[in-house]
Amino acid sequence: MKHTFLIAATTLVLACGCSEKQETAQRNTENFCLNTQLKGKIEIQTVKNQTVAENLSLTGNITYNTDDVVQFSSLVSGLITNTYFSLGDYVKKGDVLAEIKSTELNSLQAERKSLEAQLQVANRQLQSVQSMFNDGIASQSELVQANSEVNVLKSSLENVEQNLSLYSASNEKSVFQIKAPVTGYIVSKNVSPGMQIAANDAPLFTISNLSKVWVMVNIYPANLKDIHEGMDVTITTPAYPKQTFNGKITVISQVFDAEEHVLKARIVMDNTDLKLKPGLTADILINKKNNDTKMAAVSAKALIFDNNQNYIMVYKDDCHIERRQINPTVKNRDFLYFESGVSEGEKVIIKNHLLIYEQLKATN
């Protein structure tokens, strides 16, 4: 009988203790309200039903816009004596980029001097024949012949002058000058002082206007059915991981790359700030919309991950905020989608929600 009384008393005490703890937790939760200062720091978003969009993550790299690239190959053979540019330099059309010492220049200059001397003799001969023709001593055919010789020499001299001009010959330095054919950036350089070059050899340098670049995307066979031209894409690079660049898929190749076993898709990007540099790798995010499916959508910024569980903070009023465990049906970089567990019209805190989460967690 005595033992029975002790067990009953202990049970009563424990029951009272548990009840007091539950009442205290409930009272603390109910007593938590957003003050004016904290409420001013949060952001609340209303849940809406919207079309489900899944993300496909692909890789690629940034390249030049090959429609706006000029590769320069020398028209003459010779020795590079000087260069006046570096890789990445901005150059204007007509800027002198390098100089070539060439035997061809010596030949052209010698030919020009010879033709100039011959032309002087031919002009004097023409004047003499013209004078004799006027006096009736020379015939019409002799005058025509002298005039023809002058014209032939003039034509030959003009041809030599044009070649010297084409090669930008400098009489002062006795070198050919390589001038920038267009305005843009030096994106490749294969020339240096002391290098021997041959006519029409490999390009000495490449100039590109980087105001537009191409992003080449690798599409694997498993993703091919979900990707088509015109799709919106979001691009990030290791150089600017927190900045996104938006574009559209312009062209998808119809032939698989033999080495990489992927299809290549092209995205043409504006690059006015020159942050998209050829050679950089890129991460490409493609939004694949399912137009037949709509679900309640919550901003991905609302997600709180704690102890291997996902939570959101559901706002009802300043004194009633729910810490709700969730399991999204679909999620992408921007949104969480729910078939159940979250309803359209509910309000969710998406900024500074972790502060409130910690305070509510502490009261339970």
| pLDDT tens over the chain, length 364 residues | 444 433 333 333 333 444 443 343 343 445 678 888 888 889 999 999 998 887 788 999 999 888 888 888 887 888 899 999 998 899 999 999 998 888 777 777 777 888 888 889 889 988 988 888 888 888 888 888 989 998 998 888 888 787 777 677 777 677 888 889 889 999 889 989 999 888 878 888 999 888 889 999 999 888 888 888 988 898 999 988 889 899 899 999 988 888 888 899 999 998 888 899 888 999 998 877 666 788 999 999 999 999 899 999 999 998 899 999 999 998 887 899 999 999 999 999 999 999 888 888 877 6
Q: What are phi and psi of 352, to 5 degrees?
A: 60, 25
Distance, in Å, from the CA atom of 285 to the CA atom of 332, rounded to the nearest integer, reads 10
DSSP 181: S
CA–centroid distance for 106 within its chain: 46
pLDDT of residue 30: 53
pLDDT of residue 355: 87
CB atoms within 10 A of CB 283: 15
DSSP-derived 3-state class of residue 292: strand
- Take residue 95 and report the two structure tokens written for it: 């800027």
- Take residue 9 and report the two structure tokens written for it: 């008393």
Helix, strand, coil percent content, the chain, rounded in steps of 5: 30, 40, 30
Residues 41 and 351: beta-carbon distance below 8 Å: yes
pLDDT of residue 88: 86
pLDDT of residue 28: 42
Residues 276 and 259: beta-carbon distance below 8 Å: no
DSSP-derived 3-state class of residue 61: strand
pLDDT of residue 6: 37
Q: Which residues pair with 90 in a beta bridge?
A: 185
